[in-house]
Amino acid sequence: MGLGTVGWSILVMGISLATVIILWVWIGHIGPTYSSNTLIHQQKILRQHFGLPPQPVITDPKLLLTPPSLRDVKNNTANMTTASGGTNSTGGISVSIVPGAATLADKAFSPNPINVKVGGSVTWSDKDTTAPHTVTSGTGSSDPNKGKEFDSGLSTLLTAGKTFSHTFKTAGEIPYFCIIHPTMVGKVVVK
């Protein structure tokens, strides 16, 4: 008498379950620490490859126990340090236009968003050798307020190594973009 369809189904499920248990016993002990360390290493390599600043280091033990998706990192910046600094020689904030920025949307500027105090300055440095850029306040080319707060301008395009600085005199959130590549967007939060 043969195993019928039900018999074969039970046999296959049993073998599958045994395989899962064996694999879990064999590699399951590696756990989340291995995955986390691998992810951190991969992110470090990618940040170096694309010329991005190092990942902020969180020093608050309470914040470390909170899952990343639930962290309110913006309001906990006092508990973070960035290995690359973020201030320029005049005490203002430095922002990089990263390599390949034209296709990176809100990742084209690093850091993004930028937090600055009233009276503080921001200096954008172009690290992209593939195309020239601008830094222009506003939400896009059709914004009636385009360039009213600041504009590096088309006549002095930012090319690799060039910089543009602006001092912020009033509080508020100021969006900005590149006129040549309007999908490149950023935001300055002035407090």
Write down the pLDDT at residue 28.
Answer: 65
- 104-115, pLDDT tens digit by residue? 899 999 999 999
pLDDT: which is higher, 32 or 132: 132
Q: Are the C-beta atoms of residues 177 and 139 closer than 8 Å to each other?
A: yes
61-190 classified as CATH 1.10.10.10? no
Six token digits for residue 2: 């043969």
Query: pLDDT tens digit string along 41-59?
Result: 887 888 777 777 776 666 7
Q: Kindly report which listed range (30-34, 36-40, 49-53, 83-87) carries the lowest average pLDDT score.
A: 83-87
Q: Do the Cβ atoms of 178 and 164 come closer than 8 Å?
A: no
Which residues partner with 189 through β-bridges? Answer: 115, 173
Is residue 184 very low, low, confident or very high in pLDDT (cuts 50, 70, 90)?
very high
Distances (CA, A) of 102 to 23, 126, 178: 44, 12, 9
**pLDDT reported for residue 80:** 37
Burial profile 28-39: b = 16 or more Cβ within 10 angstroms, e = fewer: eeeeeeeeeeee
pLDDT tens figures, 77-94: 433 333 333 554 445 789
The confidence band for 170, taking pLDDT boundaries of 50, 70 and 90, is very high
The secondary structure element, H or E, covering residue 5 is helix 5-27
Give the containing element (helix H, strand E) for 186. Answer: strand 185-190
pLDDT at 179 over 60: yes
Strands in 77-129 per DSSP E: 80-81, 93-97, 109-110, 114-116, 121-126
Q: Domain-by-domain residue ranges, the chain? A: 61-190
What is the rounded average pLDDT of the residues 127-155? 88
Beta bridge partner(s), residue 125 = 96, 163
pTM: 0.54
For residue 61, name the pLDDT band (cuts at 50, 70, 90). Answer: confident
* Selection from 76, 75, 171 nearest residue 117 by Cα: 171
CA distance 136 to 58: 32
> Residue 73 — pLDDT band, cuts 50, 70, 90?
very low
Asked if 162 contacts 128 with a C-beta cutoff of 8 angstroms, the reply is no
